[in-house]
Amino acid sequence: MPLLKMENIQRHYETPAGVVKALDGVSFIVEEGDRVILLGPSGSGKTTLLNCLSGLDSPTGGSYKFLGSEVPRHHSEKMTSFRRENIGYVFQFFNLLQDLTVLENILLIQELAGTKNPARAKELLGLVGLHSEVNRFPGEISGGQQQRVAIARSIAKRPKLLLGDELTGNLDTETSKKVMEALVNACRQEDITSVFVTHDEGLIRYATRVIRIDSGKIVSDEMVTNVNED
Ligand SMILES: Nc1ncnc2c1ncn2[C@@H]1O[C@H](COP(=O)(O)OP(=O)(O)O)[C@@H](O)[C@H]1O
Ligand SMILES: [Mg+2]
């Protein structure tokens, strides 16, 4: 069974100027283990698609199935549980708590989920290459390292699907590479499927698949053949 399947997804906005078709008939399947990069110009519908995938927003038409079941809509409690159980999200701005150490930032998330486990928290930080930084404060590490803490935090609950919107948008090219490498490593180790939005073609090498979107429609969907893929 695929992880998720979207069929003819529409997301239309009614505005005073008329209907905006942010998504206009999007269909695709994501298999478990896929690492998808979603590319497209500004205003093409990338964020809208990510928000529909995550259950933050509801499509106005079409079908969205996750592990075979239709995803709940319209800000229902079921939609919140769907998100909580299945989805992890990495933001462009890391949003770490500055008064807590790197380790405490992860412990807090575990605590909120009722699964506090310091050994596991350290393991997660190790996965993103931060074993030596666990006792530092966010203000004492680089932007790239902070983003890696945010990644560890977002996978702490082992989401089935990890989403990110321009998560390297704030970082320079070298740092972006390190963050993407940490991300790929963590997703592989934890069996997490991912979909990341970017406009940086240089990140394609970290994906197994590239979907291009324009004016709310998928214009291409291709597998990436990576020489360094094992
Ligand atoms: N709340 C909204 N109301 C009306 N139009 C919107 C709204 N959100 C997004 N849009 C429009 O939908 C289109 C896609 O937006 P978005 O998904 O943010 O694109 P991207 O992330 O690719 O830049 C754009 O034309 C945008 O102006
Ligand atoms: Mg966007």
pLDDT digits (tens, 9 = 90+) for 189-215: 999 999 999 988 889 999 999 999 999
| Burial class of residue 186, CB neighbours in 10 A (0-12, 13-18, 19+) | buried
CB atoms within 10 A of CB 142: 12
CA 80 to chain centre: 17
Distance CA 34, CA 148 (A): 20
Ligand nearest to the CA of residue 92, numbered in listed order:
2
Write the single-letter amino acid at 57: D
For the packed helices 102-112 and 118-127, what is the interaxial angle rounded to 10 degrees?
120
Query: Do residues 119 and 156 touch, judged by C-beta distance below 8 A?
Result: no
Element (H, E) at 124: helix 118-127
Confidence band (pLDDT; 50, 70, 90) for 80?
very high
Query: Do residues 76 and 151 touch, judged by C-beta distance below 8 A?
Result: no
Cβ 48 under 6 angstroms from ligand 1: yes
Confidence band (pLDDT; 50, 70, 90) for 227?
low
| Burial class of residue 99, CB neighbours in 10 A (0-12, 13-18, 19+) | exposed
Mean pLDDT of the chain: 92
Cβ 130 under 6 angstroms from ligand 1: no
How remote is the CA of residue 95 from the centroid of ligand 1, in Å? 23
Distance CA 64, CA 26 (A): 10
Q: Specify the pairing of strand 193-198 against strand 35-39.
A: parallel
pTM: 0.92
Residues 150-164: tens digit of each pLDDT: 999 999 988 999 999
SS3 60: coil
Cβ 40 under 6 angstroms from ligand 1: yes
Distance CA 142, CA 222 (A): 34
How remote is the CA of residue 205 from the centroid of ligand 1, in Å? 27
**Residue boundaries of the structural domains of the chain:** 4-223
State the architecture of 4-223 in CATH terms.
3-Layer(aba) Sandwich (3.40)
Write the single-letter amino acid at 116: K
Ligand nearest to the CA of residue 43, numbered in listed order:
1
- Whether pLDDT at 149 is above 80: yes
